[in-house]
Amino acid sequence: MFSAVIFDLDGTLLDTERCTGEAGLRAFSRFGIELEQDFLHCMIGKDEKACDLILGQQFPGLDITALRDDWGREIDLAYAAGIPLKPGVHELFARLDHPRALATSSSRLQARRKLDLTGLTSAFAQVVTVDDVERPKPAPDAFLLAARLLGHPPSACVAFEDSEAGAEAAHAAGMTVVQVPDILPASGRFAHLVADSLLDGARRIGLLPV
């Protein structure tokens, strides 16, 4: 039924969104801004340029470059202690026979670092980052490029995503979308299946035996 599988990275395979949010709160605090996590949630699934636009609108006059540098240092410290995987990642990869690609809103440098730190570099035949496409998610470009590099039509691909922006992108690409919510609940608008976990989604969509 399906010939290839394409995964998002943060929040889908890696449990990084909470870590990134906590690092952001510490960075904002040093700039004299006390935030609630809810504000940072609006940036989940979005690329860096989109997030900078949100920050610029919310905090006119904020030195976004300096904030990003500080936020990045906080994230680096957290990652150095280890990046936890979402439940079922290793089991899923061990059991999947399908070609796999990554389609992430992270930059190429960020994605490669996360993959190296988690030992997942060899898990993918192709890696597509925000640096490889003209339009970031929720545009379908990253998923379309990943399918093309794998040599499979989008209609034959299953995409795993956690965020609404990512699910919208995969849906627009014409893929079957399995959404596994992370921090934010899924609306289900762009998902063919909303699952409790990666393994649950893989079983229910037909990639693994029930």
3-state secondary structure string, 22-82?
HHHHHHHHHCCCCCCHHHHHCCCCCCHHHHHHHHHHHCCCCCHHHHHHHHHHHHHHHHHCC
Residues 8, 90, single domain; the answer is yes
Q: Are residues 112 and 66 in the same domain?
A: no
What is the pTM assigned to this prediction? Answer: 0.88
Residue 144 has what pLDDT?
Answer: 98
Last residue of a domain, one of 80, 103, 118: 80
Share of the chain above pLDDT 70, in %: 100
**73 and 98 belong to one structural domain:** no
> Which pLDDT does position 6 carry in this prediction?
98
Query: How much is the pLDDT for 131?
Result: 97
- Phi and psi at 74, nearest 5°, equal -65, -40
Residue among 190, 142, 161, 198 at smallest CA distance from 45: 161
Q: Is residue 184 part of a domain?
A: yes
Instruction: Say if residue 89 is in the same domain as residue 121.
Output: yes
Q: Is residue 194 in some structural domain? A: yes
Per the prediction, the chain carries an average pLDDT of 93
The answer on 109 and 68 residing in a single domain is no
Q: Which of 80, 103, 128 is the last residue of a domain?
A: 80
Residue 210 lies in a domain: no
User: How sure is the predictor about 172, in pLDDT bands with cuts at 50, 70 and 90?
Assistant: very high
135-158 burial, b if ≥16 CB within 10 A, otherwise e?
ebbbbbbbbbbbbebbebebebbb
Query: What is the C-alpha separation between 126 and 108, in angstroms, rounded?
Result: 12
**What does the pLDDT look like over 16-37, one tens digit per residue?**
988 888 888 899 899 988 887 7
Indicate whether 128 and 165 sit together in one domain.
yes
Same domain as 47, residue 11: no
Mean pLDDT of 137-161: 98
Confidence of residue 151 (pLDDT cuts 50, 70, 90): very high
107 and 137 within one domain: yes
Question: Do 184 and 129 reside in the same domain of the chain?
Answer: yes
What is the per-residue pLDDT for 37?
A: 77
Helix/strand/coil (H/E/C) assignment for every residue in the chain: CCCEEEECCECCCECCHHHHHHHHHHHHHHCCCCCCHHHHHCCCCCCHHHHHHHHHHHCCCCCHHHHHHHHHHHHHHHHHCCCCECCCHHHHHHHCCCCEEEECCCCHHHHHHHHHHHCCHHHCCEEECHHHCCCCCCCCHHHHHHHHHHCCCHHHEEEEECCHHHHHHHHHCCCEEEECCCCCCCCCCCCCEECCCHHHHHHHHCCCCC
Summarised one tens digit per residue, pLDDT across range 36-91 is 778 888 888 788 888 889 999 989 988 999 998 998 899 888 888 899 999 999 99
Q: 174 in a domain, yes or no?
A: yes
Residues 117 and 91 in one domain: yes
Q: What is the pLDDT of residues 116-143, one digit of tens each?
A: 999 999 999 999 999 999 999 999 999 9
The CATH number of the domain holding residue 98 is 3.40.50.1000
Co-location of 24 and 76 in the same domain: yes
Do 44 and 9 belong to one domain? no
Structural domain count of the chain: 2
> Looking at residue 76, what is its pLDDT?
87
- Do the domain assignments include residue 127? yes
Asked whether residue 53 is assigned to any structural domain, the reply reads: yes
Q: What is the pLDDT of residues 177-208, one digit of tens each?
A: 999 999 889 999 999 999 999 999 999 999 99
The residue range of the domain holding 72 is 17-80
